[in-house]
């Protein structure tokens, strides 16, 4: 048994959630250890899309532009009937986060870029082929016992805090005795990943084939890949479903032949709707699939995990660096869980539209939705109600009394920085607490200035209009870009929270 130095944070799991956490914490200057059982990036593409808010998080650690090189942005989205005729035909509308609103991705490529990003930080140690066997709270630290799978030896580490991003079957969650409530859909789904050999009509768009006989998801992924997903019918055998002859029967029914694609892999899985009863147990936090699982219909499984650690890591940095009380960490679940539940509800709703098996109901669905989407502007309004919910927290670590702007994430337009360069807003803010105001500096600004919070006068039209719609002339942003406090014109800003605010970027 070997013992190593203590760490500020241990991250269990090195998928996109854990790798994003390692980048955020490393950038904040924390001492971090990442523990991963596998020897390399998982080879099978799981997540296949993300959104502008997640790209904004990756932008905060300097990786968005590199990741963008391997993604497919702004692809059309079709819901088609049994004859392949669209009854919904749209592109996801942007919400002002400064990146394409929807992107298709190839997860192994994303994982590689995120891991390369972690290598920039000398304070982050990555232990591949190590399995975390035990997480044991001990006073103001957590002891972790690891098995080194390469040498069949054991190691002990200590960390002030632990982020368990170790998947839906999370051993850490099990050790902590945390319930994982919800349900698993009885229906099994076949997932086919392919390499594109020759393009075909509509190869470049996401299509939900809403055919009662065999609902199918038909999705482009970058770097020359394409995916299909479809449910097993009652009585169909798993082994039979995975035979190439059976797979080609489904693909050829859609006009895709052996000339078009090469089958790389085929697996069967079930959809889950589950949420952990607690996301924090003392100094251990659950994130990503360890905290919640949702069906894939609006592509938010991976994205939700990235949002989790973006919310959590700046708070951990503030607490570890003794700039905030530990009670700040209690806001993690209260902020993130309602958003996750709403995302899951919308994903389930989209799934019901796609997988309706009653032919009469499906016919009504096709007719009604086809008519509605022809009305000018209605498709955008429907999208806002049924796709990814707004970047807003309704409760958590925010000033009181509340203001309509509090809890919203500020938009991110392109702005001109002090050097005259055109950059995204977040690159100017630098992950700091910041006071933004329209017109004169508001009353109540001096206590914030005394803490070292910089103030910026806003003249950019998109931001000015957005603040006016929220009835705010001044707002104070948290390091994650969400509005902590706000005031109308002529009204004073609330006092700062009882924390020490650093003037340097904290991720």
Q: Answer yes or no: do 457 and 340 share one domain.
A: no
Of 349, 366, 391, the residue that ends a domain is: 349
- Residue 116 has phi, psi (to 5 degrees) of -60, -35
Residue 403 has pLDDT above 70, yes or no: yes
Identify the band that residue 377 occupies on the pLDDT scale cut at 50, 70 and 90.
Answer: confident
Q: Answer yes or no: do 150 and 298 share one domain.
A: yes
Domains: count for the chain: 2
Contacts of 387 (CB under 8 A, 6+ apart): 92, 298, 346, 350
Q: Answer yes or no: do 299 and 417 share one domain.
A: no
Q: Answer yes or no: do 23 and 122 share one domain.
A: yes
* Tokens representing residue 266 in the block: 């085929």
Q: So what's the pLDDT on residue 499?
A: 80
Q: Answer yes or no: do 56 and 171 share one domain.
A: yes
Domain residues for 446? 408-487
Residue 2 has pLDDT above 60, yes or no: no
Q: Answer yes or no: do 48 and 151 share one domain.
A: yes
Identify the band that residue 323 occupies on the pLDDT scale cut at 50, 70 and 90.
Answer: very high
For a pLDDT cut of 70, what percent of the chain falls above it? 98
Identify the band that residue 4 occupies on the pLDDT scale cut at 50, 70 and 90.
Answer: low
Classify residue 500: in a domain, yes or no. no
Of 302, 327, 349, the residue that ends a domain is: 349
Q: What is the CATH number of the domain that holds 40?
A: 3.50.50.60
DSSP β-bridge partners for residue 77: 90, 206
Classify residue 245: in a domain, yes or no. no
Residue 81 has pLDDT above 90, yes or no: yes
Q: Answer yes or no: do 342 and 443 share one domain.
A: no
Rounded Cα–Cα distance for residues 146 and 166 (Å): 14
Residues 86, 42: contact at Cβ < 8 Å? Answer: no
Rounded Cα–Cα distance for residues 455 and 445 (Å): 9
Q: So what's the pLDDT on residue 507?
A: 33
Q: Answer yes or no: do 160 and 16 share one domain.
A: yes
Residue 439 has pLDDT above 80, yes or no: yes
Instruction: Give mean pLDDT, residues 195-214.
Output: 93
Mean pLDDT of the chain: 93
Tell me which of 29 and 75 has the higher pLDDT: 29
Q: Answer yes or no: do 10 and 125 share one domain.
A: yes
Q: What is the CATH number of the domain that holds 433?
A: 3.40.30.120
- Residue 126 has phi, psi (to 5 degrees) of -115, 125
24: Cα separation from own chain's centroid: 14
Q: Answer yes or no: do 47 and 127 share one domain.
A: yes
Residue 432 has pLDDT above 80, yes or no: yes
Helix, coil or strand: residue 173: helix
pTM as predicted: 0.95
Contacts of 360 (CB under 8 A, 6+ apart): none
Rounded Cα–Cα distance for residues 470 and 452 (Å): 26
Q: So what's the pLDDT on residue 109?
A: 95
Identify the band that residue 504 occupies on the pLDDT scale cut at 50, 70 and 90.
Answer: very low
Identify the band that residue 375 occupies on the pLDDT scale cut at 50, 70 and 90.
Answer: confident
Instruction: Give mean pLDDT, residues 431-445.
Output: 95
Q: So what's the pLDDT on residue 427?
A: 96
Tell me which of 476 and 297 has the higher pLDDT: 476
Q: So what's the pLDDT on residue 506?
A: 37
Classify residue 124: in a domain, yes or no. yes
Pairing mode of beta strands 72-73, 102-104 = antiparallel
Buried b (16+ CB within 10 A) or exposed e, 141-172: bbbbebbeeeeeeebebbbbbbbbbbbeebbb
């Amino acid at each position: 048994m070997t013992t190593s130095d203590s760490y500020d944070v241990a991250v269990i799991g090195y998928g996109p959630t854990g790798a994003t956490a390692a980048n955020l914490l490393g950038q904040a200057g924390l001492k971090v250890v990442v523990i991963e059982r596998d020897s390399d990036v998982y080879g099978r593409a799981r997540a296949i899309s993300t959104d502008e808010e997640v790209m904004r998080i990756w932008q905060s650690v300097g990786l968005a532009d590199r990741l963008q090189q391997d993604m497919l942005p702004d692809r059309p989205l079709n819901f088609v009937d049994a004859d392949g005729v669209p009854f919904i035909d749209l592109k996801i509308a942007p919400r002002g986060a400064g990146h394409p609103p929807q992107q298709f991705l190839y997860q192994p490529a994303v994982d590689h870029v995120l891991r390369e990003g972690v290598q920039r930080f000398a304070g982050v140690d990555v232990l591949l082929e190590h399995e975390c066997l035990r997480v044991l709270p001990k006073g103001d630290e957590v002891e972790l016992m690891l098995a080194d799978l390469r040498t069949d030896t054991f190691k002990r580490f200590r960390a002030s805090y632990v982020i368990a991003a170790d998947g839906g079957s999370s051993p850490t969650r099990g050790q902590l005795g945390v319930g994982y409530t919800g349900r698993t859909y009885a229906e099994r789904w076949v997932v086919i990943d392919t390499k594109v050999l020759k393009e075909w009509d509509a190869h470049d768009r996401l299509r939900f084939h809403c055919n009662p006989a065999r609902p199918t998801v038909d999705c482009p992924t970058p770097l020359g890949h394409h995916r299909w997903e479809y449910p097993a019918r009652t009585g169909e055998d798993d082994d039979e479903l995975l035979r190439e002859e059976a797979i080609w029967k489904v693909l050829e029914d859609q006009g895709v032949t052996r000339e078009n694609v090469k089958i790389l892999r085929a697996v069967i899985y079930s959809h889950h709707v589950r949420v952990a009863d607690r996301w924090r147990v003392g100094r251990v936090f659950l994130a990503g699939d360890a905290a919640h699982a949702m069906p894939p219909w609006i592509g938010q499984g991976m994205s939700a995990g990235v949002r989790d650690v973006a919310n959590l890591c700046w708070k951990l940095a503030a607490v570890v660096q003794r700039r905030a009380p530990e009670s700040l960490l209690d806001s993690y679940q209260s902020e993130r869980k309602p958003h996750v539940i709403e995302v899951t509800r919308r994903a389930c709703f989209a799934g019901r539209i796609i997988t309706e098996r009653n032919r009469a109901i499906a016919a009504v669905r096709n007719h009604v939705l086809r008519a509605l989407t022809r009305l000018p502007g209605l498709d955008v309004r429907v999208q806002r109600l049924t796709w990814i919910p707004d970047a807003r927290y309704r409760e958590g670590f925010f000033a009181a009394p509340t203001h309509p702007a509090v809890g919203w994430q500020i938009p991110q337009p392109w702005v001109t920085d002090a050097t005259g360069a055109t950059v995204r807003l977040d690159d100017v803010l630098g992950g700091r607490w910041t006071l933004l105001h329209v017109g004169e500096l508001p009353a109540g600004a001096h206590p914030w200035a005394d803490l070292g919070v910089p103030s910026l006068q806003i003249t950019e039209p998109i931001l000015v209009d957005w603040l006016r719609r929220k009835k705010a002339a001044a707002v104070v942003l948290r390091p994650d870009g969400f509005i902590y406090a706000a005031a109308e014109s002529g009204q004073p800003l609330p006092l700062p929270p009882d924390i020490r605010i650093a003037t340097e970027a904290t991720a």
